[in-house]
Amino acid sequence: MKINWGTGVAIAMISFMVFILSFVYKTFTDRSYDHHLVSEEYYKDEVNFQQEIDALANARKLKELIVLENTDNGILITFPSDVADKKVEGVIAFQRASNIKLDFNLPINLKENKLLIRDKKLARGLYNVKIDWKAGAVKYLYKEKYTY
């Protein structure tokens, strides 16, 4: 059977369209390609942006920064010694961009300046860590991409 050039071009175009449409179908039906926003309430988050900037600036003024450290038991979070004599409270948020089901929040209520997040709550990988905390009347914010 002999194929002329017009039939060859038509076969090539149809093959290319089937190839592209198969990828489109796969991205809409396969759950592994499901993408989420980092924040479900991003409009509300934008309103509080100036407060966030002020809290980040307060954290930079401290003599020491918050330190995250991988240990055998999990992640050890050490708060600055500047605030060791004050009551520290707030929230720690761990967000995984790859899987929203691995996101979690922990309340902070410290008596010392260290907090251990146990290994059983964590999965290996990259987290966006956001520590929103208050020592006395001053609000602080710490953000970091952290690999556990």
The pLDDT value recorded for residue 36 is 62
Q: Are 120 and 99 in contact (CB under 8 A)?
A: no
Do 28 and 53 reside in the same domain of the chain? no
Q: Do 117 and 47 share a structural domain?
A: yes
Count up the domains in the chain and report the number.
2
Q: What's the pLDDT tens digit per position in 61-109? A: 988 889 999 998 899 999 888 777 788 889 999 998 888 888 999 998 7
Are 56 and 87 within one domain? Answer: yes
Same domain, 47 and 11: no
> In this structure, are 51 and 120 located in the same domain?
yes
Q: Is the CB of residue 105 less than 8 Å from the CB of residue 91?
A: yes
84's tokens: 């060791």
pTM for this predicted structure: 0.66
Host domain of residue 21: 1-34
pLDDT tens per residue, range 28-67:
888 776 666 566 677 777 778 888 899 999 999 988 889 9
Q: Are residues 30 and 84 in the same domain?
A: no
Q: Same structural domain for residues 137 and 67? A: yes
Contacting residues for 123 by C-beta, under 8 A, at least 6 apart: 96, 102, 148
For residues 101 and 21, the model is more confident at 21
Residues 1 and 66 in one domain: no
Amino acid at site 111:
K
In this structure, are 58 and 126 located in the same domain?
A: yes
146: number of CA atoms within 13 Å, CB side?
Answer: 23
CATH code (residue 89): 2.60.40
pLDDT of residue 130: 95
53 & 25 share domain: no
Distance of CA 43 to the CA centre of its chain: 18
pLDDT (0 to 100) of residue 100: 85
Could you tell me if 52 and 115 lie in one domain?
yes
- Which pLDDT score is estimated for 35? 61
